[in-house]
Amino acid sequence: DTGVSQNPRHKITKRGQNVTFRCDPISEHNRLYWYRQTLGQGPEFLTYFQNEAQLEKSRLLSDRFSAERPKGSFSTLEIQRTEQGDSAMYLCASTGETGVTQYFGPGTRLLVL
């Protein structure tokens, strides 16, 4: 399977802990997007990378959130000092340089207790 992969698929943590998620895009896709989806809502844009450059960040991405894509391949999303309001599905998507279709991974479901 050469689709977008995300790990872990599920994460349960206690409030105040740090968590890190990983996204592996489709091979050679140079654009990578992070979205957050809460129950009963559509995904909301968080940030996107073109290669290793983080080109846009949403206002939703507070200073407790940081995303990286160090070599322009996989990306990580870290949440520091988690809060219960961070509980959501975190989705990653990728697309090629000349394409517009965003292919989504299965998501990481975070539950903050």
Residue range at the interface with other proteins (CB under 8 A); choices 14-22, 50-58, 61-69, 72-80: 50-58
Is residue 4 involved in binding other proteins (CB under 8 A)? yes
Is 74 a residue that touches other proteins (CB under 8 A)?
Answer: no
Shortest Å, Cβ 27 to other proteins: 18
User: Residue 75: CB partners within 8 Å, gap ≥ 6?
Assistant: 22, 23, 25, 32, 34, 49, 67, 68, 69, 92
Which of residues 58 and 80 has its CB atom nearest to other proteins in the complex?
58
Hey, what's the torsion of the CAs at 112, 73, 43, 111, to 10 degrees?
-10
19 or 107: CB nearest other proteins: 107
